[in-house]
Structure 1
Amino acid sequence: MIGKIRIFLALSLVVVGSLILVPLQILSMKTGLWRETLILRIWHRLIIRALGMRIHVKGTLSNQRPLLVASNHVSWTDIMVLGSMVDVTFIARADMAGWPLIGMLSKLQRTVFIERERKRSSGDQASEIASRMAKGDAMVLFAEGSTSDGNMILPFKSTLFGAASIAISEGAAEKVFIQPVAIVYTRLHGVPLGRRHRPIAAWIGDEDLMPHLKVLMAEGGLDVEVYFGEAVAFSKGSSRKETARLMESQVRDMVQAALADPRPSR
């Protein structure tokens, strides 16, 4: 019964909030009366509140530009977690554009959709990302290429760092800064998450979205920690593979630190 009440209240908050914020975001995109990220951050915070999540932050987003943020990926909620705190733009797989609610939100924040299976289009997609970074957008790359269960980090795909190379080779920037970020779901109702309860937070592979959303709304009370590492410079001659391994190693260390000693819930 409590779960059903939570779902009703969460859905009501999201629906009412969206009816107000979506038109404002469209107006912002068409007129430029205010920063597009202003409404988006409010919208993300609304979703976080509806899901009952508490965010704990260590470090800050780098102010160096152009900036590519290399993050691990646990769930579709990662977008809301980061978007509620900092002004960033996301790089997402192409099929997300058709998802209910998430697809609409993605389009309203000018997400760059990439088709990883179509190698012919990868160059154009990387060029678009490079162009956006050169204009000052901080681009978030979920470098594993897929979601994990949150207990481990999948290998970072070096090909996904191609946008940094293109930004330099096309003369858009002399160097690109790449910042590692770890997103870790640590507690449920104040109790540390173990492997048994990890699926509540994690959204893995081709799992259907709506059942996972229902579980999150019914449970509530998730704590998530976000660690911002130190940005490193990627310049002409830098190796994508070495950079990918470095980012993977730093994100893994931050994830393990958060899991080993999760912050108290508040």
Structure 2
Amino acid sequence: MTKTPLFIRGWRITRITLLVLTGLTLATLVLPVASRRVRLGLIQWWCQTLLRCFNIAITVSGSPPGRDTHGVLFVANHISWVDIHAINSVLPVRFVAKLEVSNWPVFGYLVRKSGTIFINRTRQRDAARVVKLASNALKLRDNLCVFPEGTTTEGQQVLPFKSSLIQAAIDANTMVIPVAIRYALPDGSLNLAAAYAGDTTMAESMLAFIHMHRPSVHLHFCQPILARDMSRQALAGLAHAEITQALYPAAGYQQAVA
């Protein structure tokens, strides 16, 4: 993989630092008092700008949601911290994330201020609390996104989906839109260095992107699935199948729901 020259890496770090400072200011002073429309617009602008600072190109295919999309649960595979910003750059949503994300340096504070719902995966009963919060948010027409694999991968497979959080879409009688996320090299092969997985730290992952010449992320929005009259296991299985088919069309499919 071609690496960027030193002066370009320095310029990227400078721009990212300035944007993070801007984000901290907005999150502290503006987001708590802003209207929903203004808050979502600022989040989208910030995420789009962050991707540009890292020189990350984003491409979209399938059935991308329009500005009039409300009260929908997006379900995606999970590879990197960039996933959040990539989705938000297309349509700002609230995320359901594991509690550990709140402790990420800087970004943890920003996602807390942006309305993220955190789940403590070490407490089995916490899922019921989060499902209720998520369902209420969907009923209030907030868009939400969950990563039902429960962890990140290198993008070589889609892990079995945990179905508990998908119950929120059923309770809210709304749509589920599966999103297939892929990081690729210029030759089309997987960009494994983009993964924030294993023992990789946040700093190491960010530096990896800064060193990349022209990283890219692709979002494929699958057709909406009506959650009504479906069990959460069936809904999770169908979403898993749609994402797997979009990412690996020639590999065949075996349903995987935990």
TM-score (norm 1): 0.85
Shift in Å at residue 41 of structure 1? 1.3
**C-alpha contact (below 8 Å) 1:147/1:204 kept by paired residues:** yes
1:95 and 1:221 map into 2 onto residues whose CA distance is 29
Letter in 1 for 2:177: Q
Letter in 2 for 1:220: H
Q: Paired residue for 1:90? A: 95
Answering whether residue 243 of structure 2 is matched by residue 251 of structure 1, we say: yes
Within the candidate set 52, 56, 59, 1:53 is matched to: 56
**C-alpha contact (below 8 Å) 1:184/1:258 kept by paired residues:** no
Answering whether residue 212 of structure 2 is matched by residue 209 of structure 1, we say: no
Shift in Å at residue 180 of structure 1? 0.7
Letter in 2 for 1:27: L
Q: Paired residue for 1:31? A: 33
3-state SS of the aligned residue for 1:82?
Answer: helix
Q: Paired residue for 1:220? A: 213
Q: Paired residue for 1:232? A: 225
**C-alpha contact (below 8 Å) 1:149/1:199 kept by paired residues:** yes
Letter in 1 for 2:235: T
**C-alpha contact (below 8 Å) 2:75/2:147 kept by paired residues:** yes
Letter in 1 for 2:59: H
3-state SS of the aligned residue for 1:46?
Answer: helix
**C-alpha contact (below 8 Å) 1:54/1:222 kept by paired residues:** yes
Superposition pairs of residues 10-159 of structure 1, within 5 angstroms? 10-32=12-34, 35-58=38-61, 59-61=63-65, 63=68, 65-159=70-164
Letter in 2 for 1:19: L
Q: Paired residue for 1:262? A: none
1:30 and 1:106 map into 2 onto residues whose CA distance is 13
Shift in Å at residue 23 of structure 1? 2.0
**C-alpha contact (below 8 Å) 2:154/2:197 kept by paired residues:** yes
CA deviations 1:178-211 (Å, max 9, x no partner) are: 1111111122xx33234xxx33111213421111
CA deviations 1:58-96 (Å, max 9, x no partner) are: 121265543110111111110111111112111111011
**C-alpha contact (below 8 Å) 1:64/1:177 kept by paired residues:** no
Higher strand share: 1
TM-score (norm 2): 0.87
- Identity among equivalent positions (%) equals 24
1:27 and 1:254 map into 2 onto residues whose CA distance is 41
1:2 and 1:146 map into 2 onto residues whose CA distance is 29
**C-alpha contact (below 8 Å) 1:25/1:36 kept by paired residues:** no
Q: Paired residue for 1:191? A: 187
Letter in 1 for 2:220: Y
Q: Aligned in 2, Cα 1:220/1:110: closer, same or farther, shift over 3 Å?
A: farther
5+ long unaligned stretches in structure 2:
252-258
1:113 and 1:232 map into 2 onto residues whose CA distance is 25
CA deviations 1:200-224 (Å, max 9, x no partner) are: 1112134211112111111131122
Letter in 2 for 1:60: P
**C-alpha contact (below 8 Å) 1:54/1:221 kept by paired residues:** yes
**C-alpha contact (below 8 Å) 2:27/2:110 kept by paired residues:** no
* Count of aligned pairs between the two proteins: 246
